[in-house]
Amino acid sequence: MPLEIVTIPCLSDNYAYLAHDAASGETALVDAPEAGPILAELAAGGWKLSHVLLTHHHWDHVDALPEILAAHPAQVIGAAADAHRLPPLDREVTEGDRFEIGGEPVEVIDVSGHTVGHLAFYLPQSKAVFTADSLMALGCGRLFEGTAEQMWNSLSKIAALPDDTTVCSGHEYTQSNARFALTIDPGNEALKTRAAEIDAARANGKPTVPSLLGLEKATNPFLRAADPAIQAHLGMAGESPVNVFAEIRGRKDRF
């Protein structure tokens, strides 16, 4: 059976996630932005944490961990490359490592770019990938530490997963991402439809995260740097996808 995944809004625009296995009772938390909403969700389900998976070191993904662990001692898992600036880890992992939650394998993917050492966690049986600030709904994270080439390679790893994979990303940035995406890919009818749906969802106070990978591949300009229509629109026909991605990321930084 796939794990039950719960999306938890935190802070002003963050998301954390719980992944729960009913049979074993094991429950994993992905990132720790804010203790109150996470502890409330655990209490509502009558769940106890068994694992905490940290994607990267930024404060809005780790700062609530001490308060959460005080109530729910759990195994903390994060990147070996980032161990020096993450909270204390019980298990350090690198790309290609696997562990289990409730008997389901979790695959570790290095998605450096936003930070160096950023991880994503892929659950193939539950058809979910936790991407935090690498691939986002209609966007990707700023390149605070890594290069455009690193981020393009990271996004390409995620894009290679099955289209029916649920992308559990770290922030509610989708509406502004959609406005930007339309400047890059103005002829994309699927994008226009999605942008209208996003506006309606946000007007009603509904989240736009998580999303489906197939939809991201059809509408997210950061995954579409090899698309001839986007390249032509940017005056970059025939350029390498890495260079086109770097141009798109630069435009988003200035948007």
Confidence (pLDDT) at 140:
98
Confidence (pLDDT) at 180:
98
**Would the annotation count 20 as a binding residue?**
no
Residue 194 CA: distances (Å) to CA of 134, 138, 175: 20, 10, 10
**Would the annotation count 61 as a binding residue?**
yes
**Would the annotation count 58 as a binding residue?**
yes
Per-residue pLDDT of the chain (255 residues; tens, 9 = 90+): 899 999 999 999 999 999 999 999 999 999 999 999 999 999 999 999 999 999 999 999 999 999 999 999 999 999 999 999 999 999 999 999 999 999 999 999 999 999 999 999 999 999 999 999 999 999 999 999 999 999 999 999 999 999 999 999 999 999 999 999 999 999 999 999 999 999 999 999 999 999 999 999 999 999 999 999 999 999 999 999 999 999 999 999 999
**Would the annotation count 84 as a binding residue?**
no
Residue found by looking up tokens 């308060």 in the block: 67
Confidence (pLDDT) at 42:
98
Confidence (pLDDT) at 56:
98
Asked whether 13 and 169 are in contact (CB, 8 A), the reply is: no
Taking the model in full, what pTM does it have?
A: 0.97
Closest by CA position to 80, among listed 71, 69, 90, 70: 90
Closest by CA position to 130, among listed 36, 8, 252: 8
**Would the annotation count 51 as a binding residue?**
no
Confidence (pLDDT) at 1:
85
**Would the annotation count 110 as a binding residue?**
no
**How far apart (Å, rounded) are the C-alpha atoms in residues 175 and 192?**
12
Confidence (pLDDT) at 63:
97
**Would the annotation count 133 as a binding residue?**
yes
